Structures are given as structure tokens and as C-alpha cells.
Amino acid sequence: MSDRNWEAYAKSTYQWKQGDEKYLRMTKTSLTSDFGYCRFQYKKKRIEGRKSPTTDAMTRGTNVHDAMEEFYINVRPVYKKAHSLLKKQDREGAKALLMDALPTPEEPYHLGEEPIIEQRIDWELVRLEADPDRFLPIINELEVHAFVDVPFNFNGEELSIPVHFAGSIDRGYHTEEDKVALMELKTGKWVGTNFKVRSMRKEMAFYWDLLRKADHPLQDVTHWGWFYPAGYREDAAGSENHVAYEKVSKRYLTTISKAVNELIEAYLTDNFPPQPSTGKCAYCDFVDECPAWAEGGDIYWKGGWGNTLTSKSAAQRLKELEEKKEAKK
């Protein structure tokens, strides 16, 4: 993976307080995932610095991303030859050329990386066959930073909040109109719900907004998409992989702006309440400390996908969560 710009990150912090010399750091994950999912979890992870254990899924994701980043560098001298083989109907030969452009891992893959990477190469073959002139990305794990003074009205007082927006964009390509299309590579399984689609659009909107805030030369984004080569989750009907590609939706820029303001307000008021729900709490490392799950407490949660709100004791729910975690091992 490309080296990070640690000098830029040194200018910001998650442990920000009003009046600090440093900027308040916001990344795609911290804003749209951590804060967006549960503010109590955000405080534990980002402000208190409580790191979650590294999982196999996290390691697999890093390995696949690193492999594909290097692939796009190595494939430059051979992709035209691979396209010639495709024109001659030699798909196996073309695929072999692309597979040879993959880096050799320092240690053998053992977490299911290989089938995900091969699915990705199959998709690259489709792209190469359809449009060789736009096959190579114009963005390949691009790290972007924007330091912005965000105007914020707090209790009638006009403030200027120094915010550091940062992120690494997986891939970007030229469109047929020579604009920019952003693509996100995921190594998990696609769920196929409207909630997940909205979540992905928020992620892509964060990157688009980041390019705009940085006044980057590749900010003219007209399309975005995401690719799940690992396929669909068992409870979601679908094929062996999932690719989405669509025009950008400007209203998601408003969604990002709203989230930024809500996070700023949370810092100014030191208010990070828990937001319990079935799916989120099942994989949270801080359930035992969460006030929503206090012993003898009684919380409301959604039972399954869109079922009616029901109430259960914290003790009963904790037992169910532990059983769900064990079943996933």
C-alpha cells in the first residue's frame, strides 16, 4: 500500500477540543461508519482510542487492496497485448497475462483472498474488452487531504471550526465524456438492502466532496460505483459478484454536510449517546460498557429487517448477541 502522508495527519486529531491548534479529523470511516452507526462507539474508538481487534476480514481486505493497487502499476506494459488476445478470442491467454501482473504476497494467502482477487481480474477482463482506452485508472489508491474552516452556528454564536477531511480513494476512471467515475472495491459480501445502497452512496459522496474541498484536478465526478467480488451474503439473493455503477446524486453531498455539522455539535457539547440496534450491537466491542445495555436496563430495538419495535431486557439481548457472535465463528 502507498505510504501515508503522516505529516498531514499530524495536523489533526480525533481528541479535538474547541480552541485546539490542531484540526478536527474526519475520514470516510470515522464520519459515515463510526459516527453514523453509533455515537457512543465513535467516542470509544476515536476519542478514547480504543482499538477493535484486527479481524480476518480486515486483514483480507487490506491484502486484496494492496494486491490490486500494485496490479494497476504492473499491468501497464501488458494490457494492450492482453486486449489483442481478447480480440483473437484467447480469453485464457489474456487472463493469464493479467494474473501475472498481480504481486506475489510476502506470505501465502490463507484468508480467502485468492477467489476475491480472481473475481476482480475477471471483471477487469470485461472492462478491458469493452473499452481498452479507458482501462487504466486515473486514480489508484489516491490519498487526499483538505483543511477547511467550517462555519458553524453554536447557540447563536458564529464559529469557524478547523476540520481536516482525509481519505484514500480506491479507484477512478475516465468516463466516455472524459469526466471522472469513482469506484470502491469491497471484500465483504453484498447485502442488497436499500440501507446498504444508501450507505455506499454516502461513502462515495464523502470522496467526491473530499476532492471538491481539496480543489483537486479530478473533482469533476459524474459517476460512482462499487464492486463486491465476494458475491452476495447467504440471506441476500444474487449472483457470484455485485457491481454497481450510476450517476452521482448531489443530495448525498447534503447528507455529508449534515453529518459533518452533527459531529461538530457532538464535540462542542460532548454528547455521544448510544444508538442501539440489532445489527450494529451484535458486532460492537463496547456492548459491555454501553449505558443502553446496563444490567437490568430495558431498551428498544428492531427485531430483524424492518420488523416492529420490541422491548427486551439487556441481559436477554446480551445473551442473544453472544450466541450470534459464536455462530459467526
Q: Are residues 147 and 287 in the same domain?
A: no
Within 10 Å of residue 79's Cβ, how many Cβ atoms? 20
183 and 95 share a domain? yes
Question: Which residue in 115, 111, 118 sits closest to 71, CA to CA?
Answer: 118
So what's the pLDDT on residue 305? 34
> Tens digit of pLDDT for each residue in 267-318?
999 999 988 776 677 677 887 788 876 644 444 443 333 333 344 555 566 6
Cβ burial, residue 117 (10 Å; 0-12/13-18/19+): buried
What is the structure's pLDDT at 88?
96
- Alpha helical stretches, state H, the chain: 6-9, 28, 36-37, 39-42, 56-74, 79-87, 91-100, 113-130, 194-213, 251-269, 278-281, 314-328
For cell 437490568, the residue is: 296
> Which of 218, 246, 269 lies at the terminal end of a domain, its last residue?
269
One-letter amino acid at 220 equals D
Together in a domain, 153 and 301: no
Same domain, 153 and 297: no
Domains in the chain: how many in total?
A: 2
**How confident is the prediction for the chain on average, in pLDDT?**
87
The range of the structural domain enclosing residue 293 comes to 278-328
Flag whether 150 is in a domain.
Answer: yes
* CA atoms of 3 and 127, how far apart (whole Å): 28
The pTM (predicted TM-score) of the whole model is 0.86
26, 137: one domain? yes
Q: How confident is the model at residue 24 (pLDDT cuts 50, 70, 90)?
A: very high
- 61 and 137 in contact (C-beta within 8 Å)? no
C-alpha distances out from residue 42 to 68, 210, 253, 284, Å: 30, 21, 22, 11
* Burial class of 126 by CB neighbour count within 10 A (0 to 12, 13 to 18, 19+): exposed
pLDDT at 17: 96
Residues 63 and 100 in one domain: yes
